[in-house]
Amino acid sequence: MKALTISSKGQIAIPKEVRDSLHIKEGDRLVYKVDRGRIVLEPVVSVPRSQSYFWSPEVQKKVKKVDENFKAGNFRTLKVDKFVKELKE
């Protein structure tokens, strides 16, 4: 584990190798939380407002369930014509 030094203004510098590995560049934003006596920093990814619904807890819960079903083999394959027909019904 490597150490960082806090400046007189309470600032720290994130080492280049960390910035590079996380693709953090000047002007990027980070969110932080204090968790069990630790400071956790996480890069913020901007999402267009029109797509923000996808990241809501409700939709993410459904996506997780779909992924679990897919991994368990709970799906079927259809030819395009049959798929379109079922969509219309």
Residue 46 pLDDT > 90, yes or no?
A: no
Half-sphere exposure of 21 (CA within 13 A, CB side): 6
pLDDT of residue 62: 97
pLDDT of residue 1: 82
Residues 9 and 39 in one domain: yes
Residue 45, pLDDT score? 85
| CA distances, 70 to each of 62, 65, 67, 83 (Å) | 12, 9, 5, 17
- The domain spanning residue 29 has which CATH number? 2.10.260.10
- pLDDT score for 6: 95
Quick one: how many helices (H) and strands (E) in the chain?
3, 2
Query: What 3-state class would DSSP assign to 70?
Result: helix
Whether 40 shows a pLDDT value over 90: the answer reads yes
How confident is the model over 1-36, as pLDDT tens digits?
889 999 999 999 999 999 999 999 999 999 999 999
Asked whether residue 41 falls in the same domain as residue 56, the answer is no
Q: Clarify whether residues 6 and 38 are in a common domain.
A: yes
Instruction: Note down the domain range covering 78.
Output: 49-88
- Which residues, 6+ apart, have CB-to-CB distance to 31 below 8 Å? 41, 42, 44
